[in-house]
Amino acid sequence: MAELYLGLDSSTQSLSAVIIDLQTQSIVVEEQVHYSSELVHYNVTDGVLINEQQPQVVHAPPLMWVEALECLLGKLKNNGVALTDVVAIAGSGQQHGSVYLNNSFIPCLQQLDPAQPLQHQLTEIFTRSTSPIWMDSSTAQECQQFAAAVGGDEALCTLTGSVAIERFTGPQIKKFADSESLAFNSTRHICLVSSFMASILSGDYIGIDHGDATGMNLLDIKNKKWDTRLLACCGEGTAEKLGVAIDPSMQQGKIASYFVQRFGFSADCKIIPWSGDNPCSLIGLGLVEEGMTAISLGTSDTCFGYMEKLPQQMSQWAHTFIAPTGAYMSLMCFKNGSLAREAVRKKYAATWEEWSAAIESTPPGNNGAFMLPWFDLEIVPKIIQAGVRLFGCEETLASEARAVVEAQMMAMAYHAAEAGLKPNAIRATGGASTNPVILQIMADVFQVPVD
Ligand code: XUL
């Protein structure tokens, strides 16, 4: 009998599955449910509900994630995959998103009828029909109150691994508690996307894992417990609603009988606690030793890496999360990624091939020319007014194209070092990682091998 492992990814736009066979080291099947095109009745755009009056409010319907699970498992079953051979299921959830559930959540999970779809049986479990997700930035006021509760942003960063961040779950919980106190008071469980999905699969409550918990501005990163001052800041009863944050390696359940009967899983199939997508990416890319770092080159660029120990001083530009191994990871997000590189290409109406060739025609260091590439507002470092500054740059494609990539890599290298990362090798991912010219500049700036 094959030993199959199912990995799920509940992300902003879709729920995806990959089944691997450890013995043959191969992917058995990949499947996906795309919310906007396949679950159109939730009226989401790219997986999220657009709020035209308040564009900084970005939510998604958690029932949609439930229905996606039903559809995805149905697709796998119809594909003829032997779900009975799946020995364990783990997953990754978009970080920071929160789900608010009443006291019927667990009883409902335990009484599921395998003859009926999941989404029809879980309509009454929510105290909030929409979940704030990571794209929400409506909690500026709550962030200030969070920082003030522990003596300022630096203290909050040292305590939780991050300064107060609008999309982080703690300030989001506070906003809900303050603005909708009746619904908040009737909430029995506050889950993250990760713990919500894991709980459904196991038919019982699975706590928030340490990794995803560090994306909430609530967990004391050193002792791995919720901070009581921050819990008090959220609202009464938050501790009970959150439950205990768990070490994902210590708690495993078995799959709920609903999934055994409806989809043909084995009753022995293990449910491993899920984590946030960033801690999961760390493991997925095999970054499990000091010095291993990844750079994802996408719309925005992210740099993240594994750290055996917490840095002496936590960088306020980075998020320090607990890794699934129990060690740590640092993550920084640079907003001026692909769009900045593309802005230079477009300015000179060049193709990507011409853009790359132009870079190759200039020497590393760009003859001393330099650019501050804030085509858009920037997160790291915080730039509140966009603007591009050129120092010694010639107005040519070659000079500017090299300048933008060198500037991006130097900003990453500087901030990665500040955050405590000491890269000895970089794994490049994301759309632009297929461009060898960009990877060469990455290797030149960081002075380490890139693959
Ligand atoms: C990280 C963040 C995003 C989401 C995407 O802090 O907000 O990377 O995790 O799902």
Q: Which residue CA neighbors atom 4 of ligand 1 most closely?
A: 95
User: Average pLDDT of 126-139?
Assistant: 96
DSSP 237: T
- The string of DSSP codes covering 102-128 is -TTHHHHHHT--TTS-HHHHSTTSBSS
97 CA → ligand 1 middle, Å: 9
The dihedrals phi and psi of 169, each to the nearest 5 degrees, come to -70, -35
User: Average pLDDT of 29-50?
Assistant: 97
Alpha-carbon Rg for the chain, nearest whole angstrom, is 23
Model confidence over 322-380: pLDDT tens digits? 999 999 999 999 999 998 999 999 999 999 999 999 999 999 999 999 999 999 999 99
175 CA → ligand 1 middle, Å: 20
Q: Does residue 138 sit in helix, strand or coil?
A: coil
pLDDT tier, 248 (very low <50, low <70, confident <90, very high otherwise): confident
- Give the model's pLDDT for residue 268: 97
Q: Comparing C-alpha atoms, which of 242, 168, 193 is closest to residue 92?
A: 193
pLDDT tier, 1 (very low <50, low <70, confident <90, very high otherwise): confident
Dist. CA 243–CA 388, nearest whole Å: 47
DSSP 203: T
Report which secondary-structure segment, H or E, holds 208: none
The ligand 1 site (C-beta within 6 Å) comprises: 11-12, 94-96, 134, 167, 215, 276-278, 319
94 CA → ligand 1 middle, Å: 6
Q: Which residue CA neighbors atom 9 of ligand 1 most closely?
A: 95
Strand partners, 132: 59
Q: Are the beta carbons of 127 and 187 closer than 8 angstroms?
A: yes
- Give the model's pLDDT for residue 249: 85
Mean pLDDT value across the chain? 96
170 CA → ligand 1 middle, Å: 15
The ligand 1 atom nearest the CA atom of 277: 9
- Give the model's pLDDT for residue 251: 72
Ligand 1 pocket, mutate which of 13, 95, 165, 331 (most atoms under 8 A from CB): 95
Q: Which residue CA neighbors atom 6 of ligand 1 most closely?
A: 95
Q: What's the distance, CA 168 to chain centroid?
A: 11
Look-up of token digits 């293990």: 270
189 CA → ligand 1 middle, Å: 22
190 CA → ligand 1 middle, Å: 19
Cα distance from N-terminal residue to C-terminal residue, the chain: 35
Give Cβ neighbours of residue 289 (< 8 Å, ≥ 6 apart). Answer: 306
244 CA → ligand 1 middle, Å: 23
Ligand 1 pocket, mutate which of 278, 295, 322 (most atoms under 8 A from CB): 278
Q: Are the beta carbons of 276 and 212 closer than 8 angstroms?
A: yes
Q: Which residue CA neighbors atom 5 of ligand 1 most closely?
A: 94
Q: Which residue CA neighbors atom 1 of ligand 1 most closely?
A: 95
- Give the model's pLDDT for residue 245: 97
**Encoded tokens for 139:** 């909690």
Q: Look at strands 275-276 and 98-101 and give their pairing.
A: unpaired
278 CA → ligand 1 middle, Å: 7
The ligand 1 atom nearest the CA atom of 94: 10
User: Average pLDDT of 443-451?
Assistant: 97
Q: Please state at what angle helix 193-202 crosses helix 62-78, rounded to 10 degrees.
A: 50
Strand partners, 59: 49, 132
The dihedrals phi and psi of 228, each to the nearest 5 degrees, come to -65, -35
Q: Does residue 419 sit in helix, strand or coil?
A: coil
User: Average pLDDT of 317-324?
Assistant: 96
pLDDT for residue 252 is more than 90 = no
Q: Are the beta carbons of 275 and 315 closer than 8 angstroms?
A: no
Beta strands in 13-121 (DSSP E): 14-21, 26-34, 59-60, 86-93, 98-101
The ligand 1 atom nearest the CA atom of 302: 8
Q: Are the beta carbons of 303 and 123 closer than 8 angstroms?
A: no
Give Cβ neighbours of residue 148 (< 8 Å, ≥ 6 apart). Answer: none
Q: Look at strands 270-271 and 275-276 and give their pairing.
A: unpaired
pLDDT for residue 16 is more than 90 = yes
The ligand 1 atom nearest the CA atom of 319: 6
What is the widest separation between alpha-carbon atoms in the chain?
Answer: 70
92 CA → ligand 1 middle, Å: 11
- Give the model's pLDDT for residue 288: 96
84 CA → ligand 1 middle, Å: 33
Q: How many CB atoms lie within 10 A of CB 384?
A: 7
Ligand 1 pocket, mutate which of 15, 319, 333 (most atoms under 8 A from CB): 333
Model confidence over 410-436: pLDDT tens digits? 999 999 999 999 999 999 999 999 999
- The string of DSSP codes covering 142-174 is HHHHHHHHTTSHHHHHHHHSS---TTSHHHHHH
Q: Comparing C-alpha atoms, which of 152, 136, 101 is closest to residue 122?
A: 101
Percent residues over pLDDT 90 in the chain: 96
Q: Are the beta carbons of 199 and 271 closer than 8 angstroms?
A: no
121 CA → ligand 1 middle, Å: 30
Q: Please state at what angle helix 338-347 crosses helix 352-360, rounded to 10 degrees.
A: 90
- Give the model's pLDDT for residue 303: 98
166 CA → ligand 1 middle, Å: 12
Q: Does residue 137 sit in helix, strand or coil?
A: coil
Q: What's the CA angle centered on 361, arms 360 and 367, to 5 degrees?
A: 105
Q: Comparing C-alpha atoms, which of 96, 90, 118, 98 is closest to residue 8?
A: 90
Give Cβ neighbours of residue 194 (< 8 Å, ≥ 6 apart). Answer: 10, 91, 92, 93, 208, 209, 212, 273, 274, 275, 276
pLDDT for residue 450 is more than 90 = yes
Q: Are the beta carbons of 374 and 408 closer than 8 angstroms?
A: no
- Give the model's pLDDT for residue 194: 98
The ligand 1 atom nearest the CA atom of 167: 7
DSSP 219: E
User: Average pLDDT of 265-292?
Assistant: 96
The verdict on pTM exceeding 0.85 is yes
Model confidence over 78-105: pLDDT tens digits? 999 999 999 999 999 999 999 999 999 9
- Give the model's pLDDT for residue 299: 87
Ligand 1 pocket, mutate which of 12, 134, 194 (most atoms under 8 A from CB): 134
**Encoded tokens for 170:** 């703690």
95 CA → ligand 1 middle, Å: 5
